[in-house]
Amino acid sequence: MPFIFFTLLGISIGVIDASLISKAVTIADFLSKILLWEVVVGVGGLGILAFVGHALMSEKIAKYIGWESNGFQKELGFSELGMGIIAIMSLWGGKEYLNSAIIVSCILCAGASYVRIIDLTRNRNLVWGNVISLVPDLFIPVSLIVLKILSSVL
Q: Is a pLDDT exceeding 80 seen at residue 120?
A: yes
* Predicted local confidence at residue 1, as pLDDT: 75
* Predicted local confidence at residue 45, as pLDDT: 97
Report how far apart, in Å, the C-alpha atoms of 141 and of each of 7, 24, 44, 77, 104 are.
12, 24, 14, 19, 10
Condensed to tens digits (0 to 9), the pLDDT of residues 10-34 reads 999 999 999 999 999 999 999 999 9
- Tell me the mean pLDDT in the region 74-82: 96
Q: How many Å apart are CA 43 and CA 70, to the nearest integer?
A: 24
Q: Is a pLDDT exceeding 80 seen at residue 102?
A: yes
DSSP 60-108: HHHHHHT----HHHHHHHHHHHHHHHHHHHHHHH-HHHHHHHHHHHHHH
* Predicted local confidence at residue 3, as pLDDT: 86
Contact 74, 55 (CB under 8 A): yes
- Tell me the mean pLDDT in the region 136-141: 95
